[in-house]
Amino acid sequence: MLVEKIQKQNVGNAGEYYIASRLSALNFVATITLGRAEKYDILAISPKGRVVKLSVKTTQVEKAKDFPLSHKDECGQSEDFYYAFVKLNNFTKDPDFWVIPSKVLCPLLKNSHEKWGNTLNRKGEKHGHSDVRLLPIELTAGQRQYYPENWEKDVEKYYKNLNQLL
């Protein structure tokens, strides 16, 4: 069943509820903050009593190769903070998701954006200011120069990996 494009807020909600349901299935106590915590969408306690915080980024698009973030996502890393990226795949198959520690993601975004800022655009001019940061799940030819050579291999270890939260 192919679903029409749904409202952005509903796409975000669907991703948050999906991740919360997966955590619950692993015996986490998970709660969705409903916008009450600025940076975190889900607060959870693992079966071992470990508290984890997650920010969830969601796309409905099946063919999406990256997720947009902001300059704010370059900082705020901590041992208990993770990002979950959810592709809903137009609701035609099960969602794909990646759970990446903030300690990995924040420096990756910062370094890749700095590299991008130091290269020239199509007109041969230095790139202008941008608050947008992209996290590729699949690198395109134009992105390769900004991300670590092994990024595509690294991102595989975060695919559907909720066990790292235990």
pLDDT, mean of residues 51-78: 96
The amino acid present at 85, given as its one-letter code, is F
Say if residues 2 and 92 touch (Cβ distance below 8 Å).
yes
pLDDT, mean of residues 47-58: 97
The band of 36, judged by pLDDT with boundaries at 50, 70 and 90, is confident
Predicted local distance difference test score (pLDDT) of residue 156 = 96
**8-165 belongs to CATH 3.40.1350:** yes
Give the Cβ contact number of residue 113 at 10 Å. 20
Residue 44 has pLDDT above 80, yes or no: yes
Predicted local distance difference test score (pLDDT) of residue 20 = 98
The domains of the chain are located at 8-165
pLDDT, mean of residues 17-25: 98
Say if residues 121 and 147 touch (Cβ distance below 8 Å).
no
**Structure-block tokens of residue 154:** 């690294």
Predicted local distance difference test score (pLDDT) of residue 142 = 87
In the beta sheet, which residues pair with residue 43? 31, 53
Predicted local distance difference test score (pLDDT) of residue 3 = 55
Say if residues 151 and 38 touch (Cβ distance below 8 Å).
no
Q: Evaluate the CA torsion angle 145, 116, 70, 40 in order and state its sign.
A: positive
Q: pTM (2 decimals)? A: 0.93
- Report the C-alpha gap between 19 and 32 in whole angstroms: 10
